[in-house]
């Protein structure tokens, strides 16, 4: 170890040389072990490690340790190159690529507004790409953003049974990446999601408080509902809540159907109409999306079912989508016509932007942020009528 300069700087140089000589090929020993090895205090080791972090040679992963990040920079410094001065990087504005399948409703607009608002707070800029629900286009946008040397990516992935291999590759390469709302089971990737299962449990609990015992969950608007992880979790929360109230999974009324992509809205509505006819004692329905909920309204209307006297209806992500839905009600409606589960999409967007900025600083970091769902009470749910007790 060199005998010139502050002690922590001498230790930093020794650690850099150890990385160059492949003594540390992946994980650096703990600060306590290094303090014992160099016979110094832990604070001195912390200062030495800060030198390596600031020069992008190692990265810290909370709860896991410190890992070698760039041996090339270690070799450059060991050969006499100058260490980067962190303050020179402070003025650099980050650029984040944002990839969405579409911006067609209040939910996606809210996500994007939250992202851009929070990025602005970090003095970062967004590049927006719309894939139009086309996986090949999604891959093309990702590649274009990488060629433009964006600092990180926020992706609202296309739903479906097949993973986008570009997203998998980015995750494996530890590129700063955040997935929004949807994610890929089995792939270790940072994401911001809603508490989907807890939201479904809260909906069932509320309907039980009103007296409903025959509740159905509907998902027919998605092309691949059971491959979209958010819907899978909503289904799980729905079943778990019913089990808590004494029903078995087999008794759960899960009306989930993969819609033919070439099919029409008419096919989806008729599917729900048929389910109502097969299960005449159902008194409440939860839609897993705003589109599903609108289909339930239309199916109930065709059968002459009054809302909420004959059927109570609620769903996710309604927001302001159901302006004019009071036409489905038998009486006048004050306030929101629909009871709904609010994912707080603006907050999800902000959390996603905050997370990508953290990941850019620590690329190997993996983090999951869950945003609570709020139940918004409207006029579409009430206590069930007599037929509820017949079907119990």
**CATH code of the domain containing 152:** 3.40.50.2300
In tens, the pLDDT along 308-359 reads: 999 999 999 887 666 555 566 655 555 668 899 998 899 999 999 999 999 9
One domain, residues 279 and 357: no
Residue 287 and residue 204 in one domain: yes
Are 189 and 324 found together in one domain? Answer: no
pTM, whole model, 2 decimals? Answer: 0.69
**Do 109 and 120 have their domain in common?**
yes
Considering 49, 66, 85, which residue would you say is the last residue of a domain?
A: 85
Q: Which domain holds residue 137?
A: 95-193+345-370
Distance of CA 149 to the CA centre of its chain: 24
pLDDT band of residue 49 (cuts 50, 70, 90) is confident
**Residue-wise burial string across 137-161, b where 16 or more C-beta atoms lie within 10 A, e elsewhere:** bbbebbeebeeeebbbbbbbbbbee
3-class secondary-structure state, position 190 = coil
Greatest pairwise CA separation for the chain in angstroms? 89
Average pLDDT of the chain, as a whole number = 83
Q: Rounded to whole angstroms, how far apart are CA atoms 282 and 285?
A: 8
Is there a contact between 338 and 318 (Cβ–Cβ < 8 Å)?
yes
Local confidence band at 261 (pLDDT 50, 70, 90 cut-offs): low
Point out which residues pair with 315 in neighbouring strands: 287, 340
Residues 49 and 119 in one domain: no
Q: Are residues 382 and 265 in the same domain?
A: yes
Alpha helices by DSSP H, the chain: 7-20, 31-38, 42-54, 71-78, 106-121, 135-147, 165-172, 196-210, 229-244, 265-278, 290-302, 345-361, 387-390
SS (HEC) of 253-267? EEEECCCCCCCCHHH
Q: What is the pLDDT of residues 158-185, one digit of tens each?
A: 865 456 677 778 877 788 999 988 776 6
Q: Are 186 and 204 within one domain?
A: no
Q: pLDDT band at 226, cuts 50/70/90?
A: low
Residue ending a domain, choose from 85, 112, 143: 85
From the list 352, 359, 53, the residue with the least C-alpha distance to 176 is 359
Q: Report whether pLDDT(81) > 70.
A: no
Residues 225 and 284 grouped into a single domain: yes
In a domain, 2, yes or no: no
CA distance 309 to 298: 16
């Amino acid at each position: 170890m060199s005998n010139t300069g502050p002690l922590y700087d001498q230790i930093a140089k020794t650690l850099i040389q150890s990385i160059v000589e492949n003594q540390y090929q992946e994980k650096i020993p703990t600060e306590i072990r290094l303090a014992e090895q160099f016979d110094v205090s832990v604070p001195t080791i912390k200062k030495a490690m800060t030198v390596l972090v600031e020069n992008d040679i190692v990265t810290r992963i909370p709860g896991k340790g410190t890992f070698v990040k760039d041996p090339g920079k270690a070799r450059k410094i060991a050969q006499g190159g100058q260490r980067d001065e962190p303050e020179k990087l402070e003025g650099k504005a980050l650029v984040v690529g944002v990839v969405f399948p579409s911006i067609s409703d209040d939910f996606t607009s809210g996500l994007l507004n939250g992202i851009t608002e929070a990025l602005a707070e970090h003095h970062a800029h967004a590049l927006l790409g719309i894939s139009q629900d086309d996986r090949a286009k999604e891959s093309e946008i990702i590649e274009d953003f990488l060629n433009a040397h964006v600092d990180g990516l926020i992706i609202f992935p296309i739903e479906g049974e097949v993973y986008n291999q570009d997203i998998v590759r980015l995750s494996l390469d530890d590129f700063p990446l955040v997935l929004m709302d949807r994610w890929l089971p089995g792939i270790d990737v940072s994401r911001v999601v809603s508490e989907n299962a807890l939201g479904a449990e809260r909906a069932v609990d509320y309907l039980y408080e009103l007296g409903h015992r025959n509740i159905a969950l509907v998902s027919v608007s998605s092309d691949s509902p059971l491959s979209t992880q958010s819907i899978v979790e909503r289904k799980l929360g729905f079943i778990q809540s019913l089990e808590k109230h004494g029903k078995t999974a087999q008794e759960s009324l899960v009306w989930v159907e993969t819609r033919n992509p070439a099919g029409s809205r008419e096919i989806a509505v008729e599917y729900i109409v048929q389910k109502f006819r097969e299960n005449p004692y159902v008194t409440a329905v939860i839609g897993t999306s705003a589109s599903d909920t609108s289909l339930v309204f239309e199916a109930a209307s065709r059968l002459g079912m009054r809302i909420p006297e004959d059927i109570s209806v609620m769903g996710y992500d309604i927001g302001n989508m159901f302006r004019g839905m009071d036409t489905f009600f038998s009486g006048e409606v004050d306030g929101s016509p629909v009871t709904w589960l609010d994912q707080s999409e603006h907050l999800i967007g902000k959390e996603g932007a905050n997370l990508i900025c953290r990941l850019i600083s620590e690329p190997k970091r993996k983090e999951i942020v869950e945003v609570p769902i709020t139940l918004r009470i409207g006029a579409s749910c009430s206590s069930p009528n007599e037929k509820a007790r017949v079907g119990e």
